[in-house]
Structure 1
Amino acid sequence: MLDESAASPTLIQSLQRGMHLVAAVTEHGPLTARVLSEKAGICLPTTYHLLRTLVHEGYLQRDDDGRYRLGDQLTFVAQLESRARSLRLVREVMAELAAQARVTVSTGVLCNDEIVISQFVAHPGVPRFDCWRGMAIPGHATAIGKNILARMQPQRQAEYLSNHPLDALTAATVTTSWRLAAELTDVDIAHSDQQYRYGISCTATTLADDTLSAIGAAYSSDRSQRQRDRIDDLLLGAAQRISNAMCPVRPEHVGNSQA
């Protein structure tokens, strides 16, 4: 037989009521105290008392029009949760692309004055080459680097290139500024054929988020043109899915219904 404390746990009624108010705002969006009182089934004076406490603690905030919305405490938690879900989806899409196209997939981002690998999924069918999370890659010799360079503002691009000489990594590496400029005209998709490592070709396309970032697929240079075109198509589809997942969640998007 359960003892009394286990059978009838002690509940803090004011906490329950406060959570009911938060749940109503989360579900319906910004609401007035009167509407919250009706939806939560709490008398209006008690609702005002609870709302003052929730605003003071940062769980809700009161707008100038008298309605209450989620406060910084909860919107921050919602953003963290969303980013965690997004990262899982990004990894899933990258792994799916790697398996489907038999490519090694990586994402890169401009960080300060370096283009850095942020995610990496290897495929056993692709010759191994140096690539890991946090690694700075040469912008002029990689597809990810070229895609990011092509979208930089002219001054920032010039600063990057002045700090990063066009070193010859293979006989195919572009080492003159005019040739590189010709390869940076396409801001949607970029290619590199044995310019970074012999036997490795890669293609990259844009990721739409708040930073200069790109996703790339590396594969053996003996792939046929038909196979390369298919990789491009699959990469573009994966980039769209990842871009959607990486869209940041803003406070106004949490519980955006009006009442």
Structure 2
Amino acid sequence: MDETRKPTLIASVQRALRLMEAVAVHPNGAPAKQLAREARLPLATTYHLLRTLAHEGYARRLPPGVWVLGDRVQALQGQSRLQQVLSRIRPALAALRDELGAASYFGMHIDGEIRVMDIADSPRAPRVNLWVGFEDAAHATAIGKCVLRQLDEEARLDYLARHPLAELTPNTITDRRELLRVLRALGELSFDREEYALGTDCLAVPVTDAGGTVAGALAISCRAGDLPRLQTAVPRLRATAALIQRAFTLTG
């Protein structure tokens, strides 16, 4: 490849980005004519770009006739923050895996669902076979139960109303009253004793940020019967959970 060649640039994209930068400077909004001057764009082009950005959710016109950034921009900022957090916690997950010889997982409640956000595993510490979509199996996992315990009663009942308690193994809790009893029980640790997959046990501890806006869980998995050994490592899990909590705080 000839490194002296100039990259191919899309002029319309450059104009749209300049316009968004101009909109961002005015939290209370600015009219199209002012934005056109600040972005050094013809007024007709500015109107076309604003209508396109509004259609895609990146800009919004308020009743006085001024333009502000749209909701999609805030969503992108939230996703960017989450990417920064995940990049910071991956080394902590890998260190936990190497020290305990067990796959480590981080999951959280996001957009109304409980999702596994990252996994650190290796040939010597394999992950559990995610044979059922995790979003449909939170009731059968240590991560899912740990996160559900952190939700308030209304959010917990709403989640369970939207997710049937499917029987994944003979050990899965499928009775709603029994699951709620387990979730309401006092205690920091959450367990999966061959409830998601036969031959695999899991242990999870909660992860939340200083403001209480994050409901997450740090978990490790092991072969069935090996859980008592890993329970002795709970202080190490707590320390890693604290590192993840700080990662959320630092990127807030």
Q: TM tier, shorter chain?
A: 0.5 to 0.7
Q: Which residue of 1 aligns with 2:206?
A: 206
**How much does 1:187 deviate?**
5.7
How far apart, in 2, do the equivalents of 1:214 and 1:128 lie? 16
**How much does 1:248 deviate?**
4.1
The question of whether the paired residues in 1 share the 8 Å contact of 2:97 and 2:125 is answered with no
1:214 counterpart SS class = strand
Q: Which residue of 1 aligns with 2:241?
A: 239
The question of whether the paired residues in 2 share the 8 Å contact of 1:191 and 1:203 is answered with yes
- Aligned pairs (5 A) from 1:8-157: 86-131=85-130, 136=135, 138-157=137-156
2:204 counterpart SS class = strand
Name segments (4+ residues, structure 1) moved above 4 Å: 79-86
The question of whether the paired residues in 1 share the 8 Å contact of 2:194 and 2:201 is answered with yes
CA shift in 2, pair 1:86/1:199, >3 Å: same
How far apart, in 1, do the equivalents of 2:163 and 2:125 lie? 28
**How much does 1:162 deviate?**
1.2
Instruction: Name which of 209, 220, 223 aligns with 1:220.
Output: 223
1:118 counterpart SS class = strand
Q: Deviations over 1:215-248 (max 9, x none)?
A: 11111113162x1222322211110111112214
1:123 counterpart SS class = coil
1:107 counterpart SS class = strand
TM-score normalised over the length of structure 2: 0.60
CA shift in 2, pair 1:137/1:101, >3 Å: farther
How far apart, in 2, do the equivalents of 1:81 and 1:170 lie? 37
Q: Which amino acid is 2:100 matched to?
A: A
How far apart, in 1, do the equivalents of 2:160 and 2:134 lie? 18
Q: Deviations over 1:73-110 (max 9, x none)?
A: xxxxxx99997764433111000000111111111111
How far apart, in 2, do the equivalents of 1:80 and 1:155 lie? 26
Instruction: Please say which structure displays the higher CA radius of gyration.
Output: 1
Q: Deviations over 1:61-80 (max 9, x none)?
A: xxxxxxxxxxxxxxxxxx99
Q: Which residue of 1 aligns with 2:232?
A: 230
TM-score normalised over the length of structure 1: 0.59
Q: Name stretches of at least 5 consecutive residues in structure 1 with no aligned partner.
A: 1-56, 59-78, 251-259
How far apart, in 2, do the equivalents of 1:128 and 1:83 lie? 22
Q: Deviations over 1:97-156 (max 9, x none)?
A: 001111111111112332111111113234553349x95252210011001111111111
How far apart, in 1, do the equivalents of 2:83 and 2:110 lie? 21
Q: Which amino acid is 1:233 matched to?
A: P
2:181 counterpart SS class = helix
Q: Name stretches of at least 5 consecutive residues in structure 2 with no aligned partner.
A: 1-23, 26-77
How far apart, in 1, do the equivalents of 2:250 and 2:113 lie? 23
For these two proteins, the number of residue pairs brought into alignment is: 176
Let me know the Cα RMSD of the aligned residues: 3.1
The question of whether the paired residues in 1 share the 8 Å contact of 2:193 and 2:201 is answered with yes
CA shift in 2, pair 1:224/1:216, >3 Å: closer
The question of whether the paired residues in 2 share the 8 Å contact of 1:127 and 1:220 is answered with no
How far apart, in 2, do the equivalents of 1:141 and 1:110 lie? 16
